[in-house]
Structure 1
């Protein structure tokens, strides 16, 4: 089969790019398409030497640094890819990738990290955070998002098989596109994240410091519990607000962005990993569990697919996205920590290995191609 893999854009090696890396490993002869490719030369290892076919946006002014400003042109850009010679197209979608045009003899499988959050259910939240809830600029952005929403819903008809990275995203696909989706969790490098030596007494939050991650709530909760230590690993635009939420508390340490070996060590030593975001999946939760570390998480989103409260327990949930709910969950965890073992956490993480992802994706494509082509 001739296979094409359509990615949104290539800027860095993040969660979506980990999926792309494994899709390339599954289909090493596939051609790769992306609206723009600005990954530095020294960071392109995940592409495994494969060339990338980009769109006209790559050649527009300032595209290398501000390509997201061309979001309104991206539907047009992905519709320009000529995919008529391919038997299978796999789109890695969180914005526009699934909108590619395919013919009746091409199988289109769309792996969805998330429907376009800022155009659908989280539109109002994003506009508030960007200061665009009112005014002329806000009205222009709302008009653009309305157009994107209509295009996004319409192009769902061109997808033959939807695959979601979590049950939460499958529900969002059903809501946005009125389509059912098979759930295949993304690949996690559980080989790098392993159980370490002795545990310490600190709790850990490791995340990009952006608004929806709500790291400020975790910091606020521990500022009110001075007898418990918290380590914050990560950097981002919310740094100042997160530090301010600590109110100078001596029990909270900010490490900034850390290298992977340092992140692994922190996860191995932490008493528990605290997570306050409503995430589509949550790779960091699996990485912590692979280190044998329990997770205290908001009971929404992809965390529901990862953390287990039953037997064997690997963590617990809090149901309100508030500092007081986090503090109560920490106390509940300490009172009942004996139910959770590092070995149980590690076994749970092994459900999300790279090998499992590759097997399920290749079997899915083979099965659907056989059904499509007889």
Structure 2
């Protein structure tokens, strides 16, 4: 099956002005390499002149016309599996899904090949179930029982829909292990693209720390603020979310809460900061790589994708790009900050930039296209499977 004779469909969860994260970068890079028709639960980007999807024809579901869908289709969570199964893609040879929720659940026929780039198994149904229940008004009392029942049903559907995928790609070794734990499926690791050219390498740094994250519970920004309250060192917090007011109230004068900021402001703070601080367990963690692209060292919780993107200076003095701390506690984070301060002169900004280059878009494009071709050859019987 020759690539140029193949009809491709690309399925993503949703396209909205607020959805501009790593999964959307993956979609953008795939579309630069493959001429595919696009489908999603909802689309509010094809009419946005500033979007790479402007004037693209994008197939959508009945959720497109429901009230308030533009501001977050997640509010219709019980309907997402039903909606994705209504997309009729029988006329395509290959389905490429970009999935962090339900996109992988598209219905396919035995003649089709389905390759899923899985950013994460559905977090609120698996790893973050109890976090979601504890921080949601629907997590307690009688509504809580309905929510638990819904999440239970979602887990069943999620496993069943994983069997509709022929080949899985994961964005990190950490995600590959989660895919195996949830679905008992092997996944090829292809790191997502990070636009490192957007960031300028800056050698001279200022004496402040920065964190950039959504202000929600699992991002652990409150932990960072509490630690810096004790340290007394200047910290800049960029981001918004449900915990914004709580964090603003918690912060002492040495901690500046800037809320949402445009890209150019984020880039300036990342490039000028003494170090970038991150306390969440991420599947990959694009922000960690972006900081390194600026030549800015990283202090990160030593779990998840950080173990694959940040090189601890204490173990690797010549190539170190940051300091990893073992537990999500104020004491461990404070110890990591002190360790970075003691060894700061050992960091080489150019080494950090070089490490970030491992995740450049050109690397992603090459690895992704090679894997797609390999999958088509496997289906055609040209080569034997290792999966």
Calculate the TM-score normalised by the size of structure 1.
Answer: 0.95
> 1:251 aligns to what?
254
RMSD: 1.5
Matches within 5 A, 1:160-239: 160-196=166-202, 198-226=204-232, 228-239=233-244
Relative to 1, partners in 2 of residues 1:204 and 1:63: Cα closer, same or farther, differing over 3 Å? closer
Structure 1 contact 194–268 (Cα < 8 Å) conserved:
yes
1:242 aligns with one of 229, 236, 247: 247
Distance (whole Å) between structure 2 residues aligned to residue 331 and residue 276 of structure 1: 16
Is 1:10 matched with 2:22?
Answer: no
Task: Identify which range, 12-21 or 107-116, moves more after superposition.
Answer: 12-21
d(CA) in 1 for partners of 2:111, 2:256: 57
Partner of 2:88: 82
* Local SS of the residue matching 1:194: coil
CA shift at 1:43, angstroms? 5.7
Structure 2, unmatched stretches of 5+, are 1-5, 382-387
8 A Cα contact 1:24 1:47, kept in partner: no
What SS does the aligned partner of 1:313 have? Answer: coil
Which stretches of structure 1, 4 residues or longer, exceed 4 Å deviation after superposition? none
Task: Choose the corresponding residue for 2:73, options 62, 67, 72.
Answer: 67
Query: Displacement of 1:15 after TM fit?
Result: 2.0
> Deviations 1:207-238 (Å, cap 9, x if unpaired)?
12122111111111111112x21111222221
1:332 aligns with 2:335: no
Distance in 2 separating the partners of 1:179 and 1:135: 36
Q: How many positions carry a matched residue from both structures? A: 370
* Matched position secondary structure for 1:7: strand
Q: Which residue of structure 1 lines up, in the alignment, with residue 116 of structure 2?
A: 110
Of residues 319, 323, 327 in structure 1, which corresponds to 2:330? Answer: 323
TM superposition shift of 1:239: 0.9
In structure 1, stretches of 5+ residues that fail to align are: none
Q: How far is 1:77 from its partner?
A: 1.3
In 2, Cα distance between the equivalents of 1:348 and 1:69?
39
If the length of structure 2 is used for normalisation, what is the TM-score? 0.92
- Larger displacement relative to structure 2 (269-278 or 319-328): 319-328
1:293 corresponds in structure 2 to: 296
1:302 to 289, 302, 305: 305
Q: Quick check: 2:215–2:244 contact (8 Å CA) kept in 1?
A: yes
Residue 334 of structure 1 aligns to a residue whose secondary structure is: helix
Structure-to-structure mapping, 1:100-139, within 5 angstroms: 100-139=106-145
SS of residue matched to 2:115? strand
1:341-356 alignment to 2 at 5 Å?
341-356=348-363
State the alpha-carbon separation in 2 of the partners of residues 294 and 180 from structure 1: 33
Q: How does 1:34-45 map to 2 (within 5 A)?
A: 34-39=40-45, 41-42=47-48, 45=51
CA distance in 1, matches of 2:253, 2:140: 39
Q: Tell me, yes or no, if the aligned pair for 2:46 and 2:58 is still in contact at 8 Å.
A: no
- 1:266 matches 2:273: no
Shift of 1:48: 5.4
Secondary structure of the residue that 1:254 maps to in structure 2?
A: strand
